[in-house]
């Protein structure tokens, strides 16, 4: 799988480097029928995700990606082209919405913004950063809206 960006050479960001309102935009990823069917076979084996013919009779009238596939691609785009968080991008949870389906040929891109920073009371070396993301297709329509809570570490945690 290839995306249009690579995060490997950016400096890692610590909790103190993050501010509310910080925005980012990832690279892009093109999804095709083979990827959709392959993911469905592994994780969401329903006709509307793995059979173009059966999907014609379904709610969407054609093949669409599993919402979890859209979520997984969103994660890939954030890991490869989002903010390079020190210690990794470790999610503790969040909310997700799929306002419209992802279809074969769609080119996805993620736009994100930090919406809150909550220092931990019990662990002063870390905190929770909430990021709101919008995963858009090539027409600019949102296929996923998410608010993800990520665990982040202070620079001092490195030597703790």
**C-alpha distances out from residue 97 to 55, 88, 104, 118, 126, Å:** 21, 24, 19, 23, 28
Residues found near a copy of itself in the complex (CB under 8 A)? 1, 39, 42-48, 58-59, 66-68, 71-73, 75-76, 79-80, 87-98, 145, 151
- Closest CB to a copy of itself among 66 and 137? 66
Quote the least distance from Cβ 42 to a copy of itself, whole Å: 6
**Smallest distance, a copy of itself to C-beta of residue 147, A:** 9
Measured from the CB atom, is 21 or 58 closer to a copy of itself?
Answer: 58
DSSP 8-state class, residue 32:
-
Task: Give the span between the Cα atoms of 10 and 19, in whole angstroms.
Answer: 18
Can you point out the beta strands (E) in the chain?
Answer: 23-30, 90-97, 107-119, 126-136, 142-153
Instruction: Name which of 18 and 72 has its Cβ closer to a copy of itself.
Output: 72
Least Cβ distance, residue 71 to a copy of itself (angstroms): 6
Q: Nearer Cβ to a copy of itself, position 21 or 66?
A: 66
The pair of structure tokens assigned to 18 is: 């993050």
Phi and psi, residue 102, nearest 5°? -90, 135
């Amino acid at each position: 799988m290839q995306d249009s960006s690579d995060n490997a050479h950016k400096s890692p960001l610590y909790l103190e480097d993050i501010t509310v309102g910080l925005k980012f935009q990832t690279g892009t990823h093109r999804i095709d029928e083979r990827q959709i069917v392959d993911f469905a076979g592994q994780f969401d084996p329903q006709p509307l995700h793995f059979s173009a013919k059966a999907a014609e009779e379904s709610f969407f009238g054609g093949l669409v990606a599993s919402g979890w596939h859209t979520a997984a691609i969103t994660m890939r785009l954030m890991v490869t082209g989002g903010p390079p968080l020190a210690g990794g991008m470790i999610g503790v949870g969040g909310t997700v919405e799929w306002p419209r389906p992802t279809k074969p040929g769609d080119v996805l891109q993620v736009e994100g913004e930090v919406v809150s920073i909550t220092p931990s009371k019990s662990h002063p070396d870390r905190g929770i950063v909430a990021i709101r993301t919008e995963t858009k297709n090539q027409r600019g329509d949102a296929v996923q809206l998410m608010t993800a809570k990520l665990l982040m570490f202070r620079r001092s945690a490195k030597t703790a």
